[in-house]
Amino acid sequence: MLAGAFDLAGRTAIVTGGTRGIGLGVAQAYAQAGANVVVASENHDDVAQAARQLTDQGHSAHGIACDVSDAAALEALVESTLAAFGGLDILVCNAGITGQAGSWSLDDFDQVMAINLRSIVALTGLSLPHIAARGGGSIILMSSLSALRGNATINAYALAKAGVAQLARNLAVQWGPKGVRVNAVAPGLIRTPLSEPLMANEAFMARRLQMTPLRRVGEIADVAATCLFLASDAGAFITGQQIAVDGGTSITDGS
C-alpha cells in the first residue's frame, strides 16, 4: 500500500495561484505524481507559461486564466476543468493577497477578504459536488502561520487566513460523509520571491530563526510535499486539520 500511497495517476487537480511560488511548486508535485493539473491565475500569459512548463516536462496540464474575485470566472474554471479532463478530484485554493501592511482601511479589508476568503467559499461550493461525484477527494486551503497567533502588521490577511482554517473544519464535517477531505495548510516563512525582502532583513531573520526550532527558512518543496500528502491516499484519514509547515515557529517560546 505505501509504495503507491502518493500516486495521483488518473486524478485531476485545480491549483489556484498556480503560476509561481508555492502554487507552482504544488502544481509540479501533483504533475510529477501523475495527476492532470489545471493551473489557474488571473494573468493569461503567466498561466500559459506555467502550463507549458509542465507539459514540456511530459506532464498532463492545462492553464486557465481566472480572477478568483469574479464569480463567473470561478464557474468557468470548474466547467473548463470538467470539459478538459472529465472530472475533478483535488482542489488547492492558494490564490491570495497580503493587503496593505499595518492598514485598518475597510477598503483594504474588503479586498483581502474577497480574494483570500470569499473566493474560497465560492470555489469550494462550486467544486465540492463534482469531487463528491467521483467518490470523494481532497480540498486543501492555504492558510498561514499568521492565522495561529496575533499579528499587528497584516491584520486583514491574518483574519482571512484564520477564517480559511475554520472553513476547512466546517467543510470537513459537512462533506466527510461523502468521502471528501478538507484540510488547511499554514506555511511559515517560506523562500519565495514574495519573501525576499524579509530574508534580506538581517535583524528580522535573526529574530525569526531564533523563534524557529529547525533554524532555517522553509522551502517551496516543504509545502508542496505536505499538499501532496494531503491530496493522496497517504493522507486518507486526515480531515478538518490545519497543518503548520513552519519549522516549529508556532510552538516555540524563542529559547
Residues involved in catalysis: 157
Q: Which amino acid is at 11?
A: R
Helix (H) or strand (E) holding 66: none
Closest listed residue to residue 75, CA positions, set 24, 116, 32, 119:
119
SS3 state at 63:
strand
Three-state DSSP class for residue 4? helix
What cell was used for 241? 486539520
Distance CA 89, CA 139 (A): 8
Residue appearing with cell numbers 535573526: 206
End-to-end CA, the chain: 41
Instruction: Decide: helix, strand or coil at residue 147.
Output: helix
For 215, counting Cβ atoms within 10 Å of its Cβ (0-12 exposed, 13-18 middle, 19+ buried), the class is exposed
Report the alpha-carbon distance of residue 205 to residue 67 in Å, rounded: 34
DSSP secondary structure, 110-141, as one string: HHHHIIIIIHHHHHHHHHHHHHHHTT-EEEEE
